[in-house]
Structure 1
Amino acid sequence: MTEEPATEPATEFDRFGAEATPLSAVAQTGDREVETALRPRKLADFVGQPRVREQLHLVLESARKRGVPPDHVLLSGPPGLGKTSLAMIIAAELDAAIRITSGPALERAGDLAAMLSNLAEGDVLFIDEIHRIARPAEEMLYLAMEDFRVDVVVGKGPGATSIPLEIAPFTLVGATTRSGALTGPLRDRFGFTGQMEFYSAAELEQVLRRSAAILGIEADGDGLSEVARRSRGTPRIANRLLRRVRDYAEVRADGRATLEVVRSALRVYDVDELGLDRLDRAVLGALVRSFGGGPVGVATLAVAVGEEAATVEEVCEPYLVRAGMLARTPRGRVATAAAWEHLGLRPPAEAGGVDAATPTLFD
């Protein structure tokens, strides 16, 4: 099997500075080479996502028995959960070549046509962040996915001619962090959709055990459990924190990642017991100290912590909401009782905070 990596464009969060935090699930520059070495090669070696793995195994095994390319696959979910790894595993399981690109890189229909025309029968085309593909390229993709054909327009104006071009049957694997941003016609053309879920601490510990063995990191079970517990349910973050713990252990300890070394290392990198980093705590601190627990608009909250509103909304809020510390209500962001407790503060009687168990409406 051959792989042709593509140069990855800047992520949506690059311009907002989201990569400054070690707990951002967006791939950072230093992650890519390490992730390539840590990625499993077979579906059986992939840790976590048991439902998606079982469903995907049935799709691939059925296609192999029939001797045809499997249906097109859409993988959706937050960043850092293994969508790219699964795309490469699909190609490996099919013993096929994989071509890798991304939605923002396909700005013109001609870009996509050139890539599709070079595919051999059974190849896998992986499009990351497929919801960001340009509309002309997306419309060309409809015909390619259904009929394995593209129409190439030659000339301009009244004299333009459409020439049909047959392409080899292939399997498209699309990955998206925002499945709701996909257009209906594109989403409907995928035969299988896998929804990636956040990992449990036990699953992350398995990931870390495997990563530590590959990277040659000495770590005990308690140390790995501590890293897993603070990794926000995301393998990419877990592997990144493991490398930072390794740095600390090699410089300030005997090189072994024990529980005490892990705690000291994560303290240096501002990762607290619940997996909150400096920016998370700054957002919660501003919300409860400056605005009495809310409600407050995200733009105002972002100004208070000196960050872009998109950084607060896209990087901090998802985990704070999932951890039950922040609620998004029609009137604005509100701190829950758990947020006050985590900061060691007592909410005033007139505070607008809500209990973590209280259902809220998301805006």
Structure 2
Amino acid sequence: MTPDDRLVTPALRSDDGAAENALRPKTLKDFIGQDRVRQQIDVLLSAARKRESAADHILLSGPPGLGKTTLALILASEMNTPIRVTSGPAITHAGEMAAILSSLVEGEILFLDEIHRLPRPAEELLYLAMEDFRVDVVVGKGPGATAIPLQLPRFTLVGATTRAGLLPSPLRDRFGFTAHLDFYDEKDLSTVITRSAKLLGLIIDAKAVDEIAGRSRGTPRISNRLLRRVRDFAQVQGGNVLSHAHAMAALEMYEVDEKGLDRLDRAVLTALIERFNGGPVGLSTLAIAVGEESETVESVAEPFLVRNGFMARTSRGRIATAQGWTHIGRTPPADLAATPGLFDTPDIHA
């Protein structure tokens, strides 16, 4: 067997999307991290199985890549029920929502990703469906319109959102259980990477695992993506083991630094410090400086930079912290300690 053969298995010949699906755990026992959430969901499902009824509606919130979709699929597997998968943006009007709800079978799980982006009419249709398991189908138009109640089978709605604050209270309060998923620590990410490497048929050095975990931004999805990129690099180099040297070289080539910052993160931080002397500067001005849309900077780069203490959002605009200055190799100003902190007054966008 050649070195290349050791790294090319049927699982590896599939595209990244298929590979990511293959790496998803199938049971709560196999789900790594989020221990408290797993325990809570386990109790909820066990009670539902004993009652031989559908589980309560569940809302999963948290940043992207932490396992909300995976948990929804696990719920269906644990309850041995079918699952219907859709998303808020895919439903454009109440009629589509009514059609989905009326086609559900007893005990089925309806998974609504990005549920905060549901259109208002469809959202309001859910209120009655979640509480009373029925929808009112309107027949006709104008004064002659008639609402015909349609009874629904008992189902479980699993909603996932990255922005729980955008959910209206009437919808949020109808969920029987709300779980918030937190970022992973490096120990759990190392376990995720080790498991994924085994499933992909890879041999990986422990130091390489730790290196990937340290640059994964606390997110299993990123861990698995970086693992596949290190695998690609090792395969091209002809190695039969993913070594620490492979990991270092591959991550440097893909512009992921030791703190997990990628090209866009460093561009934003560098522009803030070198072009605007550390700020404060408005979001739109900063976005123009790095040649990106404001929404991209705000939703992709900024959360990680703020969460890790490289940048702060203040009422006057974005500012670089002392840690941010140091990270790009610049000496922070002497008076930086007197600048507003991370939790100052609300930020501005221009």
Measured against the shorter chain, the TM-score band is over 0.9
Aligned to 1:211: 196
Alpha-carbon distance in 1 for matches of 2:112, 2:196: 26
1:227 is paired with a residue whose SS is helix
**Aligned CA distance change for structure 1 residues 174 and 358 (closer, same or farther; 3 Å):** closer
**Aligned CA distance change for structure 1 residues 187 and 344 (closer, same or farther; 3 Å):** same
Match of 1:302 among 264, 279, 287: 287
Match of 2:278 among 290, 293, 309: 293
Aligned to 1:360: 344
Q: Is the 8 A contact 1:293 1:352 kept in 2?
A: no
- CA-to-aligned-CA distance 1:289-331 (integer Å, 9 cap, x gap): 1111111111111111111111111000111011111000111
Match of 2:301 among 308, 316, 326: 316
Q: Is the 8 A contact 1:334 1:352 kept in 2?
A: no
2:60 is paired with a residue whose SS is strand
Following superposition, the deviation at residue 359 of structure 1 comes to 4.8
Residue 318 (structure 2) pairs with residue 333 (structure 1): yes
Residue 160 (structure 2) pairs with residue 199 (structure 1): no
Mean CA deviation greater in 340-349 or 234-243: 340-349
Following superposition, the deviation at residue 347 of structure 1 comes to 2.2
Alpha-carbon distance in 2 for matches of 1:332, 1:228: 32
- CA-to-aligned-CA distance 1:316-361 (integer Å, 9 cap, x gap): 0111011111000111001000011111111234669849x76534
- CA-to-aligned-CA distance 1:81-128 (integer Å, 9 cap, x gap): 000000011111111000000001111111111111111111100000
Alpha-carbon distance in 1 for matches of 2:114, 2:81: 22
Aligned to 1:19: none
Q: Which amino acid aligns with 2:233?
A: Y
- CA-to-aligned-CA distance 1:180-199 (integer Å, 9 cap, x gap): 01011000000000000000
Following superposition, the deviation at residue 247 of structure 1 comes to 0.5
Residue 86 (structure 2) pairs with residue 101 (structure 1): yes
Aligned to 2:251: 266
Query: TM-score when scaled to structure 2?
Result: 0.92
| 1:62-77 equivalences in 2 (<5 Å) | 62-77=47-62
Match of 1:235 among 220, 231, 249: 220
1:164 is paired with a residue whose SS is strand
Residue 152 (structure 2) pairs with residue 160 (structure 1): no
Aligned to 1:284: 269
Residue 271 (structure 2) pairs with residue 250 (structure 1): no
Alpha-carbon distance in 1 for matches of 2:312, 2:301: 12
Q: Is the 8 A contact 1:286 1:304 kept in 2?
A: yes
Following superposition, the deviation at residue 255 of structure 1 comes to 3.5
Q: Which amino acid aligns with 2:171?
A: L
**Aligned CA distance change for structure 1 residues 138 and 327 (closer, same or farther; 3 Å):** same
Alpha-carbon distance in 2 for matches of 1:31, 1:233: 20
What fraction of aligned residue pairs are identical, expressed as a percent? 60
Residue 330 (structure 2) pairs with residue 345 (structure 1): yes
Match of 2:175 among 190, 199, 214: 190
Q: Which amino acid aligns with 1:360?
A: D
Aligned to 1:46: 31
Following superposition, the deviation at residue 218 of structure 1 comes to 1.8
**Aligned CA distance change for structure 1 residues 329 and 253 (closer, same or farther; 3 Å):** farther
Alpha-carbon distance in 1 for matches of 2:247, 2:176: 44
Q: Which amino acid aligns with 1:139?
A: E
1:45 is paired with a residue whose SS is coil
Q: Is the 8 A contact 1:293 1:351 kept in 2?
A: no
Structure 1, unaligned runs of 5 or more: 1-29
Alpha-carbon distance in 2 for matches of 1:85, 1:42: 9
Residue 77 (structure 2) pairs with residue 127 (structure 1): no
Q: Is the 8 A contact 1:52 1:196 kept in 2?
A: yes
Aligned to 1:6: none
Q: Is the 8 A contact 1:230 1:271 kept in 2?
A: yes
Q: Is the 8 A contact 1:83 1:175 kept in 2?
A: yes
Alpha-carbon distance in 2 for matches of 1:187, 1:130: 10
Q: In angstroms, what is the RMSD of aligned CA positions?
A: 1.5
Structure 2, unaligned runs of 5 or more: 1-14
